[in-house]
Amino acid sequence: MSASTKIQWCDSTCNPTMGCDGCELWGRTVRKCYAGVLHVRFGGATKGYAPSFEEVTRFPGRMQQATRWKDLSGQPRADKPWLNGYPRLIFVSDMSDAMSDGVSFEYLRDEVIDCVTSDAGRNHQWLWLTKRPNRMAEFSSWLALQEISWPSNLWAGTSVTSQKTTSRIDHLLRVGDESTIRFLSVEPQYEEVDLACWLPHLDWVIQGGESGRGASRFELEWARLLIAQCREHGVPYFLKQLGASVTSDGEPRDFDDGHAGNWDEWPDDLRVRELPPLDLIVEGEGTADGVKRNRAALKAWKTRKRKGA
């Protein structure tokens, strides 16, 4: 966990667990997940890591610690001006998948939900990403049976890397309620992805290419397609990085930034970094009455967006 991060779409990261059950980026034959690679280097030897990436390990208390970080509402971010005005945005589970099978719902309730809804936790927006949205949806239903609502300041997200993995979106749409911000991380993207049928029901899309040794190529036209689709459906779009992008002739592009995350080096039409509307997620969020108002405002915005208003 870290109060600051280079990840362009958030301010901080927090991991209530470390490790993962595996996915298309991490298995017997594929080892591309950056969190997995770091665990190979540091797991079992460095404090704060799981013994190995495959051994999902709980770290209680981290979320509580993160609630005490400074509220950034109204604070300028010189290196991330697109976040100016927002509360602190905390990426939950950048080094793990807390929805892995061995993590109990009781632990997730106590470690995540209780902290997010605490007086201090309401000062921040928490962005929870998983490749197991089916289990996140089950967790949401489990909470509802206990009359616990999905917190309005807990955004629910899933990762998509190919057209095949878009099946995760159907599960994501079962998380929370009509006031829940649901988002996609289309990164790393390995092929053209068509999201048109889901976009009317989504609230934010992040996109990015793969970087690092052996990175797969990222076509700039994939970004242009998704930008156009998001524009058509009124969905905020955020291009994180171009990664191993190529020219229209298929030639590799050279960037000073190895991740190609510096948008000053991009074509003008790709410099798009948007977030869900600021006025819907900030005003009065730190109080119980404010939470109710924001839930109503989010619900109304999502209804207008679906109708194309």
In this prediction, residue 80 has a pLDDT band, given cuts at 50, 70 and 90, of very high
d(CA 121, CA 128): 14
What pLDDT score was predicted for residue 302?
Answer: 73
CB 187, CB 181: distance < 8 Å: no
Both tokens of 71, joined, read 């509220």
Report the C-alpha gap between 82 and 200 in whole angstroms.
24
The pTM (predicted TM-score) of the whole model is: 0.93
The HSE-up count of residue 18 (CA atoms within 13 Å, CB side) is 23
Count how many residues are written for the chain.
309
- Which one has a higher pLDDT value, 35 or 279? 35
Residue 17 belongs to what H/E stretch? strand 17-18
pLDDT > 90 in the chain, percent: 80
List C-alpha distances in Å: 140 to 99, 151, 156. Answer: 12, 10, 10
What is the 8-class DSSP label of residue 263?
Answer: G
Between CA 225 and CA 70 the distance in angstroms is: 38
pLDDT digits (tens, 9 = 90+) for 214-225: 889 999 999 999
The residues, ordered by sequence, that sit 6+ positions from 68 with a Cβ below 8 Å of its Cβ are: 120
Rounded to the nearest 5 degrees, what angle is found at the Cα of 262, between the Cα atoms of 185 and 276?
40
pLDDT tens by residue, 87-113:
999 999 999 999 999 999 999 999 999
Distances (CA, A) of 36 to 56, 58, 93, 212: 11, 16, 13, 14
pLDDT in tens, 125-176: 999 999 999 999 999 999 999 999 999 999 999 999 999 999 999 999 999 9
Lookup result for tokens 């010189």: 78
What average pLDDT score do residues 261-288 get?
81
Q: Which residue in the block uniquely carries the two structure tokens 């889901």?
A: 198
The H-or-E segment that residue 157 falls in is strand 154-159
